Amino acid sequence: MLVSIADVLPHSPLRAAPLRLPAGPLVVDLGVIGPGKVGSALLTQLRLAAPRLLRECNLQLRLRAVSDSRHMWLDCDDDALNSRIHGAQTWRPTALNEFAAYVAGRGDNVAVLADCSASDAVAEHYAGWLGAGIHVVTPNKRAASGPLDRWHRIAQASNASGARLHYEGTVGAGLPVVQTLRDLIDTGDELLSVEGMLSGTLAWLFNRFDGSQPFSALVRQAHEMGYTEPDPRDDLSGVDVARKLVILSREAGLPLSLEDVDVRSLIPAFLTDCDRAEFMDRLDELDAPMAALLTEARASGGVLRHVARLHEGRASVGVQVLGADHAFAHARLTDNVVRFATRRYCDNALVVQGPGAGPEVTAAAVFTDLLRVAGAMGVKRCA
C-alpha cells in the first residue's frame, strides 16, 4: 500500500537549519609576499575585481601588507586596494612571521597570505602560518614538491586549524589542473596515468626543432625572447617539470619526492657546473646529440616532445619520441597539456590544454585559490 508522506511527517516544514551568513561582507585581509611579476599582476587583478566581488559576492578584499625579500610595506589604510606598492609607504626589513602576524591581527577577519615568491625560505613558514589559522595561496612549487616530512607537517597544520593551502598555480599556471585531479580523487576515481607537457619553454623548443636550424639557435632565440629562465639550464634540466610531476603525484596519493623522478636532463654533464656565460658560449655542444635524437624520431615517423609521465607509480621526465598521431604532436606553440587517464576516463583521457606560464595567468590561479578560501569561509556565490 502506498501512503502519503503526510502520514509520516505531517508537520515537517520546508526549512533547513539557518546557514551562518556573515551580517556584513566577509572581510579577507591579504598579505602578498613577492611583489615581482606575478605578485604585481595579482595586485592589479585584485584592484580591478574588488568592487564586483564586494557588490556581487559580499566579499571585501583588503590588501594589508606586501613584502619582498628585503623589505615590507605595511598598510594601515582600510581602502588599500586602491593604493600602489610604490607609493608613500614605509618599507621595513622583512621578518616573515611579524609580517604574517600583522596581516592576521585583525579580529575576526580571514587572513590569507599569497606567496608569489619562488623561495624555499618562505615555504618553510607555511606550517607555522597554517597552524596559526592563516590561509596560504601560492604558485610557489617549493612546499608541494619539497621534502616529504615538511609537506606532511604542512598538511597536519592545515588539518588541525582548518586553514587552507591552495596551490593551483604550481602546475599549468591558471589552467585547472590541480583542482581537477583533486576532484577526481575525492569523488573516488583512480588515477591510471598522467602525461603532460608541463613546460611552455620546452614545448616551444621541440615544436620548433625540425632540423632547419640547430637546437642551440632555438635556445638562444627563446632566451632572447624571454621564454627561458635567465639561465636556460633551469628549463633544460627538466627539474622544474619534475617538481610539477611530484605535485601531481602527491595529489593522487602517491608520496613521491624529487629524487624519485627519473629526470633525463638535456644538459650534458660537462656543462652542468660551468657558469652561465660559459654555458651560453658552449651551447652548440648540445647540437650533435639533439640532432641525433631528431634523426631517430624521424626514422620511426615520430616527433620529439618533452614529456612528463606518471604511470604505475613511476615518474619520468625527458625527451621522448611520440607517434605523429599522438595528441602532443599537435599541441600549439607554448601550450601546456595535461592528460589524466583514470578508471572513469580510460578510453579517452581528460585533457586540459593552454598557455601554462606568464604573470597574468599565474596570478589568476592565485586569485582563484583566494576565492576558494573565501568560499570555504562562507562567501556567497563565488568559488
What are residue 189's phi and psi, to 5 degrees? -75, 170
Q: Which of 125, 223, 243, 244 is catalytic?
A: 244
- Residue whose CB is less far from its own copies, 291 or 327: 327
Closest distance between its own copies and the C-beta of residue 317, in Å?
23
Pick between residue 218 and residue 371 the one whose CB is nearest to its own copies. 371
Cβ closest to its own copies, residue 94 vs residue 265: 94
Q: Report the phi/psi class of residue 188: left, alpha or beta, with left for phi > 0 and alpha for psi in -120 to 50.
A: left
Least distance (Å) from its own copies to the CB of residue 252? 13
> 24: annotated binding-site residue?
no
Phi/psi class of residue 288: alpha, beta or left (left: φ > 0; alpha: ψ in -120 to 50)?
alpha
Instruction: Determine if residue 268 is labeled as part of a ligand binding site.
Output: no
The answer on whether 137 is annotated among ligand-binding residues is no
> Which residue, 132 or 263, is less far from its own copies as judged by CB?
132
Main-chain phi, psi angles of 61, to 5 degrees: -95, 125
Assess contact for 366 and 116: CB atoms under 8 A: yes
As measured in angstroms, the least distance from the Cβ of 48 to its own copies is 5
Alpha helices, DSSP H, located in 209-321: 215-224, 233-236, 239-251, 276-281, 287-299
Instruction: Rank residues 84 and 164 by Cβ distance to its own copies and give the closer one.
Output: 164
36 marked as binding residue: yes
* 3-state DSSP percent of the chain in helix, strand and coil, to 5: 45, 20, 35
375 is in an annotated binding site: no
Query: Closest distance between its own copies and the C-beta of residue 123, in Å?
Result: 17
DSSP H or E run through 182 = helix 178-186
CB of residue 345 to its own copies, shortest distance in Å:
6
CA dist 234 and 242 (Å) reads 12
Is residue 37 part of an annotated ligand binding site? yes
What is the rounded CA–CA span in Å between residue 149 and residue 154?
Answer: 9
Specify the residue, 81 or 283, whose C-beta has the smaller distance to its own copies: 81
Contact status, residue 110 vs residue 28, Cβ threshold 8 Å: yes
Is 380 within any annotated ligand binding site?
no
The contacts of residue 332 (CB under 8 Å, 6+ apart) are 207
Q: How far apart are CA 116 and CA 140, in angstroms?
A: 6
257: amino acid identity, one letter: S
Enter the C-alpha cell of residue 48. 580591478
Helix axes 359-376, 37-57, angle to 10 degrees: 40
Asked whether the beta carbons of 173 and 199 are under 8 A apart, the reply is no
Checking DSSP bridges between strand 59-67 and strand 314-323, what pairing results, if any? unpaired
CB of 134 to its own copies, least distance (A): 5
Known catalytic residue: 244? yes
- 34 marked ligand binding residue: yes
Binding residues for NADPH, as ranges, are 141
Cite the annotated binding site for L-homoserine by residue number.
229
Binding-site positions: 34-39, 141, 229
- Residues with catalytic function: 244
